[in-house]
Amino acid sequence: MPLNYAYSASIGRELRLDSIDTIGISSQTLAEEAIQAGKIETAITLINYFLREMQIMHGILTTWIQDIIRYIIEKSGAQPGMDVMSAEAIVRVLKTAELGIAPRDRCLAALQAGDHAAAIDWLDKMRLEFKNPHEILVAWVQDMLSYCAATWGEESVLESILHTHQSIWGDRYATWDQMTAWEKVALTVEGMRGGHFSGARRRGDVQVSEEEDRFVISFDPCGSGGVLRRGDPETGRAPYPITEHGTNREPHLWTWQKTGVHWYCSHCAIAMEWLPGRKRGHPLRPLDHNLDHNAPCVWYVYKDERQTREYHYPRTGLVKPEDIS
């Protein structure tokens, strides 16, 4: 399948900008196909990019973990500066571990030696070296946000996520308004592909389709909140057990005015709809959250955000501006 690994000036680096037919296919799968077809240079590009996809999301999750820990320590009455020092110390091993490097190097060595079966095996080991801690990190976020809700009330979850918003989502989407619609799709899919291991095989398979006014991106399941809620289809691991305060009991504008939303999933409402809607007048990248854990998670990237459909606005307390049709 054709690969379009190219530099995006708006995003500031290279990433996959494939066509709609291939953008949702796991980078691991494309690398395997290239290996089997003897397309060594393409395979090398994909192997290194797959590693980068996973490194990006690992960095985001560890930053989020550190910021929640910092928030909890600060709320607990620590002296100024102790929150930062303590949080950095707690997550230090997560940030310094060189995940994926050794299996990537062995994968490339096997490829150069012509041992395609071994290269494919090492490629999967590289994925697992990120996937296994990824599952713990997602559950850790859920658990700590549940602790915040139980200790300081549900509004503390919003406060905590706003505490870390800029360092995670603000920085990642800083040039969103300069991107083309397809660059927005590519950046979105990248995070859920190698970053969150979406799809039944947990390789990062994503469904992308096009409508007249928007692109539709679907995860079945989403590899983070979806797997947390549904369980891991690859291993058969059960859903993460939800504590008494693991979902919201009160409807909030930042939980789509619903109750029963897992705290991990609430960041989608906050970072993609509630907060940008208040800053920009319309949601950044709205989604159709579903309380049915077995339903796909569906996100939208509008070709012209001024044409975002009416129904996305009221659920987070927004009113569509009158000058936007």
Separation CA 267–CA 282 (nearest Å): 17
Separation CA 235–CA 132 (nearest Å): 11
Which pTM does this prediction carry?
A: 0.94
Separation CA 210–CA 213 (nearest Å): 8
Mean pLDDT computed over 242-266: 96
Spatial neighbors of 64 by CB under 8 A, at least 6 apart, are: 141, 164, 168
Q: Does residue 221 carry a pLDDT above 70?
A: yes
Q: Does residue 323 carry a pLDDT above 70?
A: no
Separation CA 161–CA 192 (nearest Å): 20
Separation CA 30–CA 263 (nearest Å): 34
Count of alpha carbons within 13 Å of 293, Cβ hemisphere only?
16
Separation CA 318–CA 271 (nearest Å): 14
Mean pLDDT computed over 143-166: 95
129 close to 103: Cβ distance less than 8 angstroms: yes
Please report, for residues 15, 70, 139, 246, 263, the alpha-carbon distance to residue 242 in angstroms, rounded to integers and kept in the order given: 36, 23, 10, 5, 10
Separation CA 49–CA 110 (nearest Å): 18
Q: Does residue 167 carry a pLDDT above 70?
A: yes
Q: Does residue 244 carry a pLDDT above 90?
A: no
DSSP-assigned letter for residue 5: E
Residue in this structure with the two tokens 């850790």, named with its chain if needed: 140
CA torsion angle for 123, 127, 128, 132 (degrees, to 10)? 170
30 close to 1: Cβ distance less than 8 angstroms: yes
54 close to 231: Cβ distance less than 8 angstroms: no
- Residue 27 phi/psi, 5° resolution? -65, -30
For 257-286, what is each residue's pLDDT tens digit? Answer: 999 999 999 999 999 999 999 999 999 999
Separation CA 269–CA 256 (nearest Å): 7
Report the mean per-residue pLDDT for the chain. 94
Mean pLDDT computed over 106-117: 98
Query: 3-state DSSP call for residue 71?
Result: helix
| Domain spans in the chain, listed from the N-terminal domain onward | 5-316
Q: Per residue in 197-210, is it b (16+ CB within 10 Å) or e — as a string?
A: bbbeebbbbbebee
Q: How confident is the model at residue 324 (pLDDT cuts 50, 70, 90)?
A: low
Bridge partners (DSSP) listed for residue 215: 210, 301
Structure tokens given for 174: 């800083």
Q: How confident is the model at residue 52 (pLDDT cuts 50, 70, 90)?
A: very high
Residue 303's pLDDT is what?
97
